């Protein structure tokens, strides 16, 4: 009985030491990842603020993209409306963007009333050296592409982790492809057969089953594709597959991308001549 008690005692003492080390290591990692996260957040903010200041003027009709970086762009727009009495109207690209416009008390409009926009400010999941983009990591690619195509210029705001030489260098979650729900299996099979890789149905996190987009569709995330591809050609071919609604490949659409850097600076990239 005594042995038993002492065994439990030692074991729990050992356990306590281990727990303490784990706790400390966990704390250091937590602190590190917190500082990386806050650096990324600051980078998003610097890029978004600069892009808004450079590209939006009074009287503009502005497309509002989706995602976490665009939150800062809308914040800056709202501050300028208040301070400079900037007169702008906004067309959102998602439920989230519409909500952002409303919450920030900006003037909301749509493409029926304003089919031609001056500028669209949007985020990206990855930007390559040609300024081709992967978008749709948050599931908003269809309305984003429509609004961008109705804008005189598409201005991308991003942090340094999105800056790549080739699509797929950094962003490993795949190229999002929005599809009609009834067609997701044949489309998946076709993409994998023609181009290789895997096109996986995106599953929801706080819901059983797949992600359903703002437009009632599913998303296939196409991974392990050939990186040195002709994205313009592949995008054109993909949208011709019956049931494909849109792809997250934004080829030759962006006029400029702003990247917030780790050191607090912002660098920009324009397409090669
Ligand atoms: O579907 C989401 C959009 O394409 C976003 O613009 C993209 O995922 C980038 O989002 P974030 O600014 O949060 O990285």
Band (pLDDT 50/70/90 cuts) for residue 273 is confident
Residue 4 in any domain: the answer is: no
Please indicate, yes or no, whether residues 128 and 254 belong to a single structural domain of this protein: yes
Band (pLDDT 50/70/90 cuts) for residue 26 is low
Please indicate, yes or no, whether residues 124 and 254 belong to a single structural domain of this protein: yes
Ligand 1 atom with the shortest distance to the CA of 123: 6
- Cα dihedral 231/222/224/229 (nearest 10): -10
144 is catalytic: yes
Residue 25 in any domain: the answer is: no
Please indicate, yes or no, whether residues 185 and 99 belong to a single structural domain of this protein: no
- The C-alpha atoms of residue 265 and residue 160 are separated, in whole angstroms, by 10
Phi and psi dihedrals of 210, rounded to 5?
Answer: -80, 160
β-strand partners of 222: 175, 199
Pocket test for ligand 1, best of 47, 66, 159 (most atoms within 8 A of CB): 66
The response to whether residue 144 sits with its C-beta less than 6 Å from ligand 1 reads yes
* Residue 220 near residue 200 (C-beta atoms within 8 A): yes
Residue 218 in any domain: the answer is: yes
Residue 16 in any domain: the answer is: no
Span 223-233, average pLDDT: 95
β-strand partners of 260: 159, 266
Please indicate, yes or no, whether residues 125 and 256 belong to a single structural domain of this protein: yes
Residue 130 in any domain: the answer is: yes
Q: What pLDDT digit, counting tens, does each position of 160-210 carry?
A: 999 999 999 999 999 999 999 999 999 999 999 999 999 999 999 999 999
- The C-alpha atoms of residue 72 and residue 49 are separated, in whole angstroms, by 7
Residue 65 in any domain: the answer is: yes
Span 18-28, average pLDDT: 64
The response to whether residue 76 sits with its C-beta less than 6 Å from ligand 1 reads no
Please indicate, yes or no, whether residues 89 and 179 belong to a single structural domain of this protein: no
Q: What is the CATH number of the domain that holds 72?
A: 3.40.50.1360
Please indicate, yes or no, whether residues 159 and 224 belong to a single structural domain of this protein: no
Query: What is the per-residue pLDDT for 16?
Result: 58
Residue 6 in any domain: the answer is: no
Query: Across all residues in the chain, what is the average pLDDT?
Result: 92
Please indicate, yes or no, whether residues 120 and 44 belong to a single structural domain of this protein: yes
DSSP helix, strand, coil percent of the chain (3-state; round to 5): 40, 25, 35
Please indicate, yes or no, whether residues 139 and 213 belong to a single structural domain of this protein: no
Query: Domain limits at 243?
Result: 175-247
Q: What pLDDT digit, counting tens, does each position of 59-71 carry?
A: 999 999 999 999 9
DSSP letter for 12, please: H
Q: What is the CATH number of the domain that holds 187?
A: 3.30.70.260
Residue 14 has pLDDT above 50, yes or no: no
Q: What is the Å distance from ligand 1's center to 213 Cα?
A: 14
Span 238-261, average pLDDT: 98
Please indicate, yes or no, whether residues 61 and 109 belong to a single structural domain of this protein: yes
Q: Write out the DSSP string of 152-213.
A: EEEEEEEEGGGB-SSTTSS--S-EEEEE-GGGHHHHHHHHHHHH-SEEEEPBPSSSSSB---
Please indicate, yes or no, whether residues 207 and 137 belong to a single structural domain of this protein: no
Phi and psi dihedrals of 18, rounded to 5?
Answer: -60, -45
Please indicate, yes or no, whether residues 56 and 122 belong to a single structural domain of this protein: yes
Q: What is the Å distance from ligand 1's center to 155 Cα?
A: 13
pTM (predicted TM-score): 0.89
Please indicate, yes or no, whether residues 137 and 254 belong to a single structural domain of this protein: yes
Residue 8: helix, strand or coil by DSSP? helix
* Residue 223 near residue 126 (C-beta atoms within 8 A): no
For the chain, the domain total comes to 2
Quote ipTM for the complex: 0.99
Residue 254 in any domain: the answer is: yes
Q: What is the Å distance from ligand 1's center to 140 Cα?
A: 8
Q: What is the Å distance from ligand 1's center to 19 Cα?
A: 38
């Amino acid at each position: 009985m005594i042995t038993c008690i002492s065994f439990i005692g030692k074991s729990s003492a050992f356990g306590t030491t281990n727990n303490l080390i784990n706790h400390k290591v966990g704390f250091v990692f937590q602190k590190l990842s917190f500082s990386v996260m806050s650096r990324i957040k600051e980078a998003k903010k610097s890029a978004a603020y600069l892009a808004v200041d450079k590209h939006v003027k009074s009287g503009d009709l502005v497309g509002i993209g989706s995602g976490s970086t665009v939150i800062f762009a809308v914040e800056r727009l709202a501050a300028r409306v208040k301070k400079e009495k900037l007169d702008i109207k906004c067309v959102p690209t998602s439920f989230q963007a519409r909500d952002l416009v409303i919450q920030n008390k900006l003037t909301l409009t749509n493409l029926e009333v304003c089919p031609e926009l001056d500028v669209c400010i949007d985020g990206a999941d990855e930007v390559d050296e040609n300024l081709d983009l992967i978008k749709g990591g948050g599931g908003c690619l269809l309305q984003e592409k429509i609004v961008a195509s109705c804008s005189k210029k598409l201005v991308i705001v991003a942090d340094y982790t999105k800056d790549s030489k080739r699509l797929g260098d950094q962003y490993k979650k795949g190229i999002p492809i929005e599809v009609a729900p009834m067609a997701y299996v044949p489309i998946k099979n076709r993409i994998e057969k023609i181009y290789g890789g895997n096109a996986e149905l995106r599953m929801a996190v706080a819901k059983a089953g797949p992600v359903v987009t703002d437009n009632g569709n599913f998303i296939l995330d196409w991974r392990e594709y050939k990186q040195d591809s002709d994205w313009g050609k592949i995008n054109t071919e993909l949208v011709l597959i019956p049931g494909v609604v849109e792809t997250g490949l934004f080829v030759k659409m962006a006029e400029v991308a702003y990247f917030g850097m780790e050191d607090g600076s912002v660098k920009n990239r324009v397409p090669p001549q």
